[in-house]
Amino acid sequence: MKSFYQSAIVLLLITVLVFAGCQPQEKESKLLDEVVTKYNITDLFKKLREDKDFKSQDFEYFTNGMTRLVTKSTDSLLGKTIGQVITLQKNHERDEISATAANQATKVELVLNHEFKYVGMNPRNVDLNDNSKREVDFLIYEITNKSEKEITDLEGILQFITPNNETLKIYPIVASKILKDEVLKPGETKRFSHPFNHDINNPNDERVRNEHSSLRPIWIASKIIFKDGSQISVTKTL
C-alpha cells in the first residue's frame, strides 16, 4: 500500500511538471527595442496600444519612467529603448519600496529596544546668572532600556496633538543632554526632566502650557546609540 501511494505521488508530480512545461510562453513585445526620439513618442504609444504582447503594467512603467527621466534632463530619456525605460523604472520603484521597507523595519527595531513614557510638564520661572528670570517648561518623561546593551543616547520628537488632530508643538528630544556621561543599563528605567524655553509671545507655547491636560502626546523615536558604538537609526536607512 505504501509503494502505491509513493507511485501515485510521483505520477502526480510528473503530470504537474508536464502540464507546466506545456503552458505557452508569454510573448515579449517586439516594440521593446524601439528607440525614443523627439518625434516618435506619440506614434510609439499608438503602436503599443495595438500590440497585444505589450503588457498592461508596462504602460505604467513606461509612462512613469519617461516622466521621471525627462524631468532630470532630455538626454536621460532620448536614445533609450522602450525596454530600457521600463527596466530603469522597475529598478527605481524597487529601490523606493526597499528603502521604505528598511525604514519601517528600523522603526520597529527602535520600538522593540526602548520604551518612552511621557509623565507631564512642570512650568517654572528660572533664575538666571544676571538676576533676571526666564520662563521654562520642563518636560518630564521616563525611558526604559528594553535592549541587552547599555544606551548612551535616545533621540526623537515629542509631539503634542490637539483634540482636532492638529500638531500644536514639536519638541526635539536628545536624552544624552540630560544623561551627560551616564548610561541607561539593560532593563533600567530613568526619569528625565528636560528643560525647554517658554516664549510667552508664542501662542503655541502658551496653549501647550495652559491646555496641557487636553493634548495628546505622541513620541516618535529616530535613533538609539549604544555604549559599544552601535546604533539603530532611521536616517541610516533612508
In a shared domain, residues 226 and 124: yes
- Return mean pLDDT, the chain: 89
In a shared domain, residues 204 and 145: yes
In a shared domain, residues 86 and 64: yes
- Rounded mean pLDDT, 26-52: 92
Question: Cell 503602436 belongs to which residue?
Answer: 47
Q: What pTM was computed for the model?
A: 0.70
Assess whether pLDDT exceeds 50 at residue 187: yes
d(CA 32, CA 49): 13
Work out how many domains the chain is built from and give that number: 2
Distances, alpha carbon 68 to alpha carbons 65, 90, 118, 126, in Å: 5, 12, 44, 54
- Domain of residue 168 covers 115-237
Question: Is residue 36 in a domain?
Answer: yes
pLDDT in tens, 131-162: 678 899 999 999 999 999 999 999 999 999 99
pLDDT in tens, 98-115: 999 998 999 999 999 999
- Rounded mean pLDDT, 113-123: 96
In a shared domain, residues 45 and 125: no
In a shared domain, residues 135 and 232: yes
- Rounded mean pLDDT, 202-231: 95
| Last residue within a domain, chosen from 61, 93, 109 | 109
CATH number of domain containing 209: 2.60.40
d(CA 148, CA 48): 58
Q: Which of 197, 150, 199 is nearest to 175 (CA)?
A: 150
Could you tell me if 55 and 100 are in contact, meaning their C-beta atoms sit under 8 angstroms apart? Answer: no
- Rounded mean pLDDT, 82-103: 95
In the prediction, which pLDDT does 24 show?
53
| Last residue within a domain, chosen from 87, 109, 131 | 109
In a shared domain, residues 208 and 130: yes
In the prediction, which pLDDT does 125 show?
86
